[in-house]
Amino acid sequence: MIRLKTLVSGAILPILAAGCALTPQADDPVLLKLDELDRRLAAVERVLASGSLVDLTVQTDELQQQTADLRGRTESLEHEAESSAERDRELYADLDMRIQNLERMTRGSSGPVSVLDGGSLAPGQLPVPGGSDRDNYQAAFELLKGQRYEPAAMAFKQFLVSYPDSQLADNAQYWLAESYYVTQQYDEALSEFEKVINSYPTSRKVPDALLKVGYCNYELKRFNDARSALASVQADYPDTTAARLAEQRIKRMDTDGQ
């Protein structure tokens, strides 16, 4: 039995030795992997030896500190800017109030109170007697902005009588109509908006006036007329704010079944 094992071992060992000899050392996957790991380790050692990794870490820390400093400065500047803006607003408000008080005192000592300061406006009277068309237009517009709609309407009416050929006449006509619209006098407003369209066909106010014609008819429950006017805005003046508003009102009417 022992002899047989000796014979078998003697036969297998040469075969295994021959098999190992058949695989070249350069192609051995284990050796190749070891070589790759050795190269990578050598590369890491070179980086550490040169100190470049340490330098990068130091530079990163410095950049982070600089970023924090810049962020702090930016926040400080923003706070200073907000504070400065607030101070400017307060100074402006104070100065404006003082100027208004001086103007009231001056007017009080020199004559009647202006219509812009609460004075009355008689029929046929301009808000700025003796002033230019632009002066009177601006005065009428200030009345409208101040929600003094009745004197604003009177001022715009007299403006159109006094300055029928003014370049501001179409605007005056539009804002006259608007002074009626905002006070829900829709019949009067409708008539005045139609004058903008008919009397000033080339005015830039025509799209808005046509839109308001639709709005007035809507408020008066004349829904067919409202749709017709709103559709005309969309067709004749596309890509305008008036057209977008007309589309919104038509959708509202569709939703309400009107």
Q: What is the pLDDT of residues 54-112, one digit of tens each?
A: 566 666 667 777 776 676 667 667 666 655 555 555 555 555 555 555 544 444 444 44
The SS3 assignment for 134 reads: helix
Establish if 1 belongs to a structural domain. no
Say whether both 104 and 146 belong to one domain. Answer: no
User: Which H or E element spans position 184?
Assistant: none
Measure the CA–CA gap between 223 and 216, rounded to whole angstroms: 10
Where is the domain boundary, 111, 141, 172?
111
Answer yes or no: is 19 within a domain: no
The domain of 74 spans 34-111
**Inter-CA distances, 245 with 161, 194, 227, Å:** 32, 18, 12
Residue 247 CB: number of other CB atoms within 10 A? Answer: 14
Scanning the structure block, which residue is given the tokens 């990068």? 56
* Residue 20 covered by a domain: no
Looking at the structure, tell me whether residues 70 and 142 fall in a common domain: no
Q: What's the 3-state SS for 172-187? A: HHHHHHHHHHCCCCHH
Same domain assignment for residues 220 and 143 = yes
| Total count of domains within the chain | 2
Amino acid at site 256: D
In a domain, 8, yes or no: no
Question: Looking at the structure, do residues 97 and 159 belong to the same domain, yes or no?
Answer: no
Strands (E), the chain: none
Last residue within a domain, chosen from 84, 111, 138: 111
Q: What sign has the CA pseudo-torsion 72, 78, 81, 86?
A: negative
Output the pLDDT for position 145.
93
What span, in angstroms and rounded, lies between the C-alpha atoms of 118 and 231? Answer: 42
**Per-10-residue mean pLDDT, the chain, length 258:** 45 46 59 74 68 62 71 66 58 54 47 59 84 94 93 95 96 97 97 97 96 97 97 96 96 93
Residues 238 and 130 in one domain: yes
Query: What single letter denotes the amino acid at residue 179?
Result: S
Are 66 and 141 in a shared domain?
A: no
In a domain, 25, yes or no: no
Q: What is the pLDDT of residue 9?
A: 46
Q: What's the CATH number where 196 sits?
A: 1.25.40.10
Structure confidence at residue 42 (pLDDT): 74
Residue count of the chain: 258
| Domain shared by 216 and 107, yes or no | no
127, 251: one domain:
yes
User: Among residues 64, 93, 111, which one ends one of the domains?
Assistant: 111
Residues 53 and 152 in one domain: no
| Structure-token pair, residue 185 | 């006098």
Name the 3-class secondary structure at 111. Answer: coil
Q: Whole-angstrom Cα distance, residue 107 to residue 123?
A: 22
Query: What is the four-CA torsion angle of 232, 233, 234, 239, rounded to 10 degrees?
Result: 150
